[in-house]
Protein backbone atom coordinates (compact mmCIF):
# COMPACT_ATOMS: atom_id res chain seq x y z
CA UNK A 1 0.00 0.00 0.00
CA UNK A 2 3.06 2.23 0.23
CA UNK A 3 4.25 1.48 -3.30
CA UNK A 4 6.12 4.16 -5.25
CA UNK A 5 4.82 2.83 -8.57
CA UNK A 6 1.12 2.29 -8.10
CA UNK A 7 -1.85 2.12 -10.42
CA UNK A 8 -4.94 3.74 -8.96
CA UNK A 9 -8.05 1.56 -8.97
CA UNK A 10 -10.04 4.45 -10.43
CA UNK A 11 -8.16 4.01 -13.72
CA UNK A 12 -9.95 0.71 -14.31
CA UNK A 13 -13.31 1.10 -12.56
CA UNK A 14 -15.28 -1.74 -10.95
CA UNK A 15 -15.80 -3.96 -13.97
CA UNK A 16 -12.36 -3.28 -15.37
CA UNK A 17 -10.86 -4.24 -12.00
CA UNK A 18 -12.81 -7.50 -11.90
CA UNK A 19 -11.73 -8.39 -15.41
CA UNK A 20 -8.12 -7.48 -14.61
CA UNK A 21 -8.03 -9.72 -11.53
CA UNK A 22 -9.99 -12.68 -12.93
CA UNK A 23 -9.24 -12.87 -16.67
CA UNK A 24 -6.73 -15.70 -16.17
CA UNK A 25 -9.04 -17.87 -14.05
CA UNK A 26 -10.05 -21.08 -15.83
CA UNK A 27 -12.61 -23.39 -14.15
CA UNK A 28 -11.36 -26.89 -13.34
CA UNK A 29 -14.57 -28.47 -11.97
CA UNK A 30 -17.21 -29.97 -14.26
CA UNK A 31 -19.89 -28.51 -11.99
CA UNK A 32 -18.81 -24.99 -12.98
CA UNK A 33 -20.72 -24.32 -16.18
CA UNK A 34 -19.89 -20.60 -16.08
CA UNK A 35 -17.81 -18.62 -13.62
CA UNK A 36 -16.93 -14.94 -13.51
CA UNK A 37 -18.41 -12.71 -16.19
CA UNK A 38 -22.20 -12.53 -15.80
CA UNK A 39 -24.80 -11.64 -13.16
CA UNK A 40 -24.37 -15.04 -11.53
CA UNK A 41 -22.27 -18.17 -11.83
CA UNK A 42 -23.92 -21.26 -13.29
CA UNK A 43 -23.30 -24.52 -11.42
CA UNK A 44 -24.68 -27.99 -12.05
CA UNK A 45 -24.52 -30.71 -9.42
CA UNK A 46 -25.11 -34.43 -9.75
CA UNK A 47 -27.91 -36.42 -8.22
CA UNK A 48 -26.81 -38.20 -5.07
CA UNK A 49 -24.72 -35.25 -3.88
CA UNK A 50 -25.38 -32.71 -1.16
CA UNK A 51 -24.40 -29.08 -1.77
CA UNK A 52 -22.53 -27.28 1.02
CA UNK A 53 -22.37 -23.47 1.26
CA UNK A 54 -20.44 -21.37 3.79
CA UNK A 55 -19.51 -17.69 4.12
CA UNK A 56 -16.87 -15.88 6.18
CA UNK A 57 -16.30 -12.17 6.65
CA UNK A 58 -12.83 -10.81 7.47
CA UNK A 59 -12.53 -7.22 8.68
CA UNK A 60 -9.34 -5.15 8.90
CA UNK A 61 -8.58 -4.30 12.52
CA UNK A 62 -10.69 -7.21 13.79
CA UNK A 63 -9.46 -10.30 11.95
CA UNK A 64 -6.15 -9.06 10.51
CA UNK A 65 -3.60 -6.26 10.87
CA UNK A 66 -1.95 -5.11 7.64
CA UNK A 67 1.00 -3.81 9.64
CA UNK A 68 2.40 -7.33 9.57
CA UNK A 69 0.07 -9.37 7.33
CA UNK A 70 1.21 -9.34 3.67
CA UNK A 71 -1.69 -9.06 1.24
CA UNK A 72 -0.58 -12.21 -0.59
CA UNK A 73 -0.76 -14.17 2.65
CA UNK A 74 -4.10 -12.56 3.48
CA UNK A 75 -5.55 -13.76 0.18
CA UNK A 76 -4.34 -17.29 0.85
CA UNK A 77 -5.69 -17.31 4.40
CA UNK A 78 -9.04 -15.79 3.39
CA UNK A 79 -9.58 -18.72 1.03
CA UNK A 80 -8.43 -21.33 3.54
CA UNK A 81 -10.83 -20.07 6.22
CA UNK A 82 -13.72 -20.95 3.93
CA UNK A 83 -12.34 -24.15 2.45
CA UNK A 84 -11.76 -25.43 5.98
CA UNK A 85 -15.48 -25.08 6.74
CA UNK A 86 -16.35 -27.29 3.77
CA UNK A 87 -13.83 -29.93 4.82
CA UNK A 88 -15.27 -29.75 8.34
CA UNK A 89 -18.58 -30.98 6.86
CA UNK A 90 -16.75 -33.96 5.29
CA UNK A 91 -17.15 -32.23 1.94
CA UNK A 92 -15.06 -31.22 -1.05
CA UNK A 93 -14.88 -27.49 -1.90
CA UNK A 94 -15.57 -26.70 -5.55
CA UNK A 95 -16.14 -22.95 -5.99
CA UNK A 96 -15.78 -19.66 -4.14
CA UNK A 97 -17.06 -16.13 -4.67
CA UNK A 98 -14.94 -13.21 -3.46
CA UNK A 99 -16.25 -9.80 -2.40
CA UNK A 100 -13.90 -7.00 -1.34
CA UNK A 101 -14.56 -3.51 0.03
CA UNK A 102 -11.50 -1.24 0.10
CA UNK A 103 -10.43 2.35 0.60
CA UNK A 104 -8.44 4.61 -1.70
CA UNK A 105 -5.18 3.77 0.06
CA UNK A 106 -5.14 0.50 -1.91
CA UNK A 107 -3.98 0.30 -5.52
CA UNK A 108 -4.20 -2.22 -8.35
CA UNK A 109 -0.89 -3.84 -7.37
CA UNK A 110 -2.19 -4.42 -3.83
CA UNK A 111 -5.21 -6.26 -5.18
CA UNK A 112 -2.96 -8.26 -7.51
CA UNK A 113 -1.01 -9.44 -4.46
CA UNK A 114 -4.21 -10.36 -2.63
CA UNK A 115 -5.52 -12.30 -5.63
CA UNK A 116 -2.18 -14.04 -6.11
CA UNK A 117 -2.56 -15.60 -2.66
CA UNK A 118 -6.22 -16.34 -3.29
CA UNK A 119 -5.49 -18.07 -6.60
CA UNK A 120 -2.66 -20.12 -5.12
CA UNK A 121 -4.97 -21.47 -2.42
CA UNK A 122 -7.61 -22.33 -5.00
CA UNK A 123 -5.10 -24.02 -7.29
CA UNK A 124 -3.81 -26.20 -4.47
CA UNK A 125 -7.33 -27.32 -3.56
CA UNK A 126 -8.78 -27.50 -7.10
CA UNK A 127 -11.32 -24.75 -6.44
CA UNK A 128 -12.83 -22.35 -8.97
CA UNK A 129 -13.29 -18.62 -8.35
CA UNK A 130 -16.69 -17.99 -9.93
CA UNK A 131 -17.67 -14.44 -8.99
CA UNK A 132 -17.97 -11.82 -6.29
CA UNK A 133 -18.22 -8.06 -5.88
CA UNK A 134 -16.12 -4.99 -5.18
CA UNK A 135 -17.07 -1.82 -3.35
CA UNK A 136 -15.51 1.19 -1.66
CA UNK A 137 -14.93 1.34 2.09
CA UNK A 138 -14.40 4.21 4.52
CA UNK A 139 -13.10 2.03 7.35
CA UNK A 140 -10.44 -0.20 5.78
CA UNK A 141 -10.37 -3.53 3.98
CA UNK A 142 -13.29 -5.96 4.24
CA UNK A 143 -13.29 -9.42 2.65
CA UNK A 144 -16.30 -11.70 2.25
CA UNK A 145 -15.88 -15.13 0.69
CA UNK A 146 -18.54 -17.74 0.06
CA UNK A 147 -17.44 -21.32 -0.56
CA UNK A 148 -19.54 -23.98 -2.27
CA UNK A 149 -18.80 -27.69 -2.01
CA UNK A 150 -20.31 -31.13 -2.24
CA UNK A 151 -20.54 -34.29 -0.19
CA UNK A 152 -21.98 -37.68 -1.12
CA UNK A 153 -25.64 -37.94 -0.12
CA UNK A 154 -25.90 -38.87 3.54
CA UNK A 155 -22.15 -38.45 4.14
CA UNK A 156 -21.95 -34.80 5.17
CA UNK A 157 -21.03 -34.51 8.85
CA UNK A 158 -22.75 -32.13 11.26
CA UNK A 159 -21.90 -31.01 14.78
CA UNK A 160 -24.92 -32.81 16.19
CA UNK A 161 -24.06 -36.48 15.76
CA UNK A 162 -21.72 -37.27 18.67
CA UNK A 163 -22.78 -40.13 20.96
CA UNK A 164 -21.57 -41.30 24.39
CA UNK A 165 -18.46 -43.54 24.12
CA UNK A 166 -17.44 -41.88 20.81
CA UNK A 167 -13.76 -41.05 20.60
CA UNK A 168 -12.67 -37.40 20.28
CA UNK A 169 -9.88 -36.78 17.76
CA UNK A 170 -8.02 -33.73 16.51
CA UNK A 171 -5.65 -33.31 13.58
CA UNK A 172 -2.23 -31.67 13.64
CA UNK A 173 -1.24 -29.57 16.64
CA UNK A 174 -2.86 -26.70 18.50
CA UNK A 175 -1.86 -23.27 19.77
CA UNK A 176 0.79 -22.47 17.15
CA UNK A 177 -1.33 -19.90 15.29
CA UNK A 178 -2.05 -18.07 18.54
CA UNK A 179 1.64 -18.06 19.43
CA UNK A 180 2.39 -16.68 15.97
CA UNK A 181 -0.08 -13.85 16.59
CA UNK A 182 1.47 -13.06 19.97
CA UNK A 183 4.92 -12.98 18.38
CA UNK A 184 3.81 -10.60 15.63
CA UNK A 185 2.01 -8.33 18.08
CA UNK A 186 5.04 -8.24 20.38
CA UNK A 187 7.37 -7.25 17.55
CA UNK A 188 4.89 -4.66 16.28
CA UNK A 189 4.95 -2.93 19.66
CA UNK A 190 8.72 -3.31 20.12
CA UNK A 191 9.53 -1.82 16.71
CA UNK A 192 6.92 0.95 16.77
CA UNK A 193 8.55 4.10 15.42
CA UNK A 194 11.73 2.32 14.35
CA UNK A 195 12.76 2.82 10.74
CA UNK A 196 14.47 0.15 8.64
CA UNK A 197 14.62 -2.40 11.47
CA UNK A 198 13.51 -5.97 10.75
CA UNK A 199 12.48 -8.36 13.54
CA UNK A 200 14.42 -11.58 14.04
CA UNK A 201 12.07 -14.54 13.66
CA UNK A 202 14.76 -17.24 13.38
CA UNK A 203 13.57 -20.49 14.92
CA UNK A 204 9.95 -19.34 14.97
CA UNK A 205 9.07 -19.80 11.31
CA UNK A 206 6.48 -22.50 12.00
CA UNK A 207 4.51 -20.21 14.31
CA UNK A 208 4.42 -17.46 11.68
CA UNK A 209 3.33 -19.88 8.97
CA UNK A 210 0.51 -21.19 11.12
CA UNK A 211 -0.77 -17.65 11.73
CA UNK A 212 -0.17 -16.08 8.33
CA UNK A 213 -0.61 -19.04 5.97
CA UNK A 214 -2.75 -21.79 7.51
CA UNK A 215 -3.66 -24.89 5.53
CA UNK A 216 -7.14 -26.43 5.39
CA UNK A 217 -6.94 -30.16 6.19
CA UNK A 218 -8.06 -31.81 2.97
CA UNK A 219 -5.54 -34.57 3.69
CA UNK A 220 -7.40 -35.60 6.86
CA UNK A 221 -10.77 -35.78 5.10
CA UNK A 222 -9.22 -37.89 2.35
CA UNK A 223 -7.52 -40.15 4.92
CA UNK A 224 -10.83 -40.70 6.71
CA UNK A 225 -12.50 -41.66 3.45
CA UNK A 226 -9.70 -44.06 2.54
CA UNK A 227 -10.00 -45.69 5.97
CA UNK A 228 -13.78 -45.94 5.54
CA UNK A 229 -14.38 -43.79 8.62
CA UNK A 230 -17.40 -41.48 8.70
CA UNK A 231 -17.12 -39.16 11.73
CA UNK A 232 -20.24 -38.81 13.87
CA UNK A 233 -19.54 -35.08 14.29
CA UNK A 234 -16.91 -32.66 13.06
CA UNK A 235 -15.81 -28.99 13.22
CA UNK A 236 -12.74 -27.03 12.28
CA UNK A 237 -10.79 -25.39 15.08
CA UNK A 238 -11.14 -21.71 14.24
CA UNK A 239 -12.16 -20.28 17.63
CA UNK A 240 -10.26 -22.64 19.94
CA UNK A 241 -10.56 -26.33 20.86
CA UNK A 242 -12.60 -25.67 24.00
CA UNK A 243 -15.18 -23.52 22.18
CA UNK A 244 -15.52 -25.96 19.28
CA UNK A 245 -15.84 -29.01 21.52
CA UNK A 246 -18.54 -27.31 23.57
CA UNK A 247 -20.41 -26.54 20.34
CA UNK A 248 -20.38 -30.24 19.50
CA UNK A 249 -21.48 -31.18 23.03
CA UNK A 250 -24.35 -28.68 23.02
CA UNK A 251 -25.67 -29.59 19.59
CA UNK A 252 -25.24 -33.33 20.19
CA UNK A 253 -26.69 -33.27 23.70
CA UNK A 254 -23.62 -34.90 25.27
CA UNK A 255 -20.68 -34.20 27.58
CA UNK A 256 -16.98 -34.92 27.13
CA UNK A 257 -13.66 -35.68 28.73
CA UNK A 258 -10.40 -34.59 27.12
CA UNK A 259 -6.97 -35.29 28.58
CA UNK A 260 -4.24 -32.70 29.04
CA UNK A 261 -1.51 -35.22 28.22
CA UNK A 262 -3.09 -35.96 24.84
CA UNK A 263 -3.43 -32.42 23.50
CA UNK A 264 -0.98 -32.12 20.57
CA UNK A 265 1.46 -29.21 20.91
CA UNK A 266 4.43 -28.37 18.67
CA UNK A 267 7.83 -27.76 20.23
CA UNK A 268 8.01 -24.15 18.94
CA UNK A 269 4.61 -23.47 20.50
CA UNK A 270 5.79 -24.72 23.89
CA UNK A 271 9.01 -22.69 23.73
CA UNK A 272 7.18 -19.50 22.74
CA UNK A 273 4.58 -19.95 25.48
CA UNK A 274 7.36 -20.28 28.05
CA UNK A 275 9.10 -17.20 26.64
CA UNK A 276 5.89 -15.18 26.97
CA UNK A 277 5.06 -16.68 30.39
CA UNK A 278 1.82 -18.21 29.09
CA UNK A 279 0.27 -21.56 29.95
CA UNK A 280 0.69 -23.62 26.79
CA UNK A 281 -2.37 -25.81 27.46
CA UNK A 282 -4.53 -22.70 27.86
CA UNK A 283 -3.18 -21.42 24.54
CA UNK A 284 -3.87 -24.74 22.83
CA UNK A 285 -7.43 -24.87 24.20
CA UNK A 286 -8.39 -21.26 23.54
CA UNK A 287 -6.01 -19.75 20.98
CA UNK A 288 -7.98 -20.40 17.79
CA UNK A 289 -7.08 -20.02 14.10
CA UNK A 290 -5.45 -23.45 13.96
CA UNK A 291 -7.93 -24.66 11.29
CA UNK A 292 -7.33 -28.24 12.36
CA UNK A 293 -10.22 -30.72 12.32
CA UNK A 294 -11.94 -31.79 15.53
CA UNK A 295 -14.10 -34.87 15.08
CA UNK A 296 -15.67 -37.80 16.87
CA UNK A 297 -15.79 -41.41 15.71
CA UNK A 298 -17.50 -44.52 17.09
CA UNK A 299 -15.34 -46.48 19.53
CA UNK A 300 -15.55 -49.42 17.11
CA UNK A 301 -13.32 -47.40 14.75
CA UNK A 302 -10.51 -47.11 17.31
CA UNK A 303 -8.06 -49.35 15.44
CA UNK A 304 -8.71 -47.53 12.15
CA UNK A 305 -8.31 -44.04 13.54
CA UNK A 306 -5.26 -45.00 15.63
CA UNK A 307 -3.31 -45.69 12.43
CA UNK A 308 -4.04 -42.33 10.79
CA UNK A 309 -1.10 -39.93 10.48
CA UNK A 310 -1.42 -36.47 12.04
CA UNK A 311 -4.47 -37.47 14.09
CA UNK A 312 -4.44 -37.56 17.88
CA UNK A 313 -7.02 -39.19 20.16
CA UNK A 314 -7.65 -36.58 22.87
CA UNK A 315 -10.67 -37.87 24.77
CA UNK A 316 -14.14 -39.38 24.61
CA UNK A 317 -17.80 -38.39 24.67
CA UNK A 318 -19.85 -39.00 27.83
CA UNK A 319 -23.48 -38.52 28.84
CA UNK A 320 -24.70 -34.93 28.96
CA UNK A 321 -25.30 -34.94 32.73
CA UNK A 322 -21.58 -35.62 33.32
CA UNK A 323 -20.66 -32.26 31.76
CA UNK A 324 -17.57 -31.23 29.80
CA UNK A 325 -14.19 -31.39 31.48
CA UNK A 326 -10.43 -31.35 30.97
CA UNK A 327 -8.62 -34.08 32.91
CA UNK A 328 -5.24 -32.73 34.05
CA UNK A 329 -2.00 -34.68 34.33
CA UNK A 330 -2.79 -35.11 38.03
CA UNK A 331 -6.16 -36.67 37.26
CA UNK A 332 -8.15 -33.61 38.36
CA UNK A 333 -11.26 -32.79 36.31
CA UNK A 334 -11.61 -29.10 35.43
CA UNK A 335 -14.74 -27.70 33.83
CA UNK A 336 -14.19 -26.92 30.16
CA UNK A 337 -15.15 -23.35 29.34
CA UNK A 338 -15.52 -21.54 26.02
CA UNK A 339 -12.75 -18.96 26.25
CA UNK A 340 -11.79 -18.92 22.58
CA UNK A 341 -12.09 -16.13 20.02
CA UNK A 342 -15.39 -14.21 20.05
CA UNK A 343 -15.39 -11.18 17.71
CA UNK A 344 -18.71 -9.86 19.07
CA UNK A 345 -17.94 -9.89 22.79
CA UNK A 346 -18.04 -6.57 24.61
CA UNK A 347 -14.73 -5.03 25.59
0.85 exceeded by pTM: yes
Count: domains in the chain: 2
**Cα 202 vs. chain centroid, distance in angstroms?**
25
Same domain assignment for residues 80 and 182:
no
Residue that finishes a domain, picked among 118, 152, 186: 152
DSSP of 99-144: EEEE-TT-BHHHHHHHHHHHHHHHHHTT-EEEEEEEEE-SSS-EEE
Same domain assignment for residues 218 and 127:
no
123 in a domain, yes or no? Answer: yes
Residue 332 CB coordination number (10 Å)? 10
- Report the pLDDT averaged over residues 63-70: 94
Same domain assignment for residues 198 and 304:
yes
pLDDT of 140-194, one tens digit each? 899 999 999 988 888 889 998 999 999 999 999 999 999 999 999 998 888 776 7
- Report the pLDDT averaged over residues 315-343: 89
pLDDT at 182 (0 to 100): 95
Residue that finishes a domain, picked among 105, 120, 152: 152
pLDDT of 263-292, one tens digit each? 999 999 999 999 999 999 999 999 999 999
Same domain assignment for residues 209 and 298:
yes
Average pLDDT, rounded, for the chain: 90
Q: Report the CATH number at residue 279.
A: 3.90.650.10
1 in a domain, yes or no? Answer: no
Same domain assignment for residues 189 and 58:
no
158 in a domain, yes or no? Answer: no
77 in a domain, yes or no? Answer: yes
Residue that finishes a domain, picked among 96, 117, 152: 152
pLDDT at 37 (0 to 100): 62
228 in a domain, yes or no? Answer: yes
* Per-residue buried b or exposed e for 48-66, using 16+ beta carbons within 10 Å of the residue's own CB: ebbebebebebbbeebbeb
pLDDT at 344 (0 to 100): 42
Same domain assignment for residues 77 and 14:
yes
285 in a domain, yes or no? Answer: yes
Same domain assignment for residues 139 and 208:
no
pLDDT of 188-214, one tens digit each? 888 776 776 677 788 899 999 999 999
pLDDT at 347 (0 to 100): 47
Q: 205 — phi, psi (to 5°)?
A: -60, -35
Same domain assignment for residues 266 and 298:
yes
Percent of the chain surpassing pLDDT 90? 69
Same domain assignment for residues 238 and 182:
yes
340 in a domain, yes or no? Answer: no
DSSP of 100-112: EEE-TT-BHHHHH
Same domain assignment for residues 293 and 171:
yes
Local confidence band at 26 (pLDDT 50, 70, 90 cut-offs): confident
d(CA 17, CA 23): 10
Least confident of 95-104, 118-127, 149-158: 149-158
pLDDT at 340 (0 to 100): 57
Dihedral sign of CA atoms 41, 146, 76, 85 in order: negative
Is 99 a residue whose pLDDT tops 90? yes
Q: Which of 85, 93, 77, 84 is nearest to 129 (CA)?
A: 93
Same domain assignment for residues 188 and 294:
yes
Q: Report the CATH number at residue 104.
A: 3.30.1330.10
161 in a domain, yes or no? Answer: no
Same domain assignment for residues 69 and 184:
no
Range of the domain at 202: 167-335
Amino acid sequence: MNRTNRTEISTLGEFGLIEHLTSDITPVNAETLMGVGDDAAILSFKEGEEVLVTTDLLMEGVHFDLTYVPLRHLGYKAAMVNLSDIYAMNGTPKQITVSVALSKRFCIEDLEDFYAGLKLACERHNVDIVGGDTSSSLTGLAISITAIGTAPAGKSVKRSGAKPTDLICVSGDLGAAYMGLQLLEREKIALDGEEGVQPDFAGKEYLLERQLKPEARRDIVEALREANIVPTSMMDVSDGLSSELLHICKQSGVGCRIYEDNIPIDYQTAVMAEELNLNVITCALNGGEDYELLFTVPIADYEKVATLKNVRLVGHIVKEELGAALVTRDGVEMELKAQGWNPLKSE
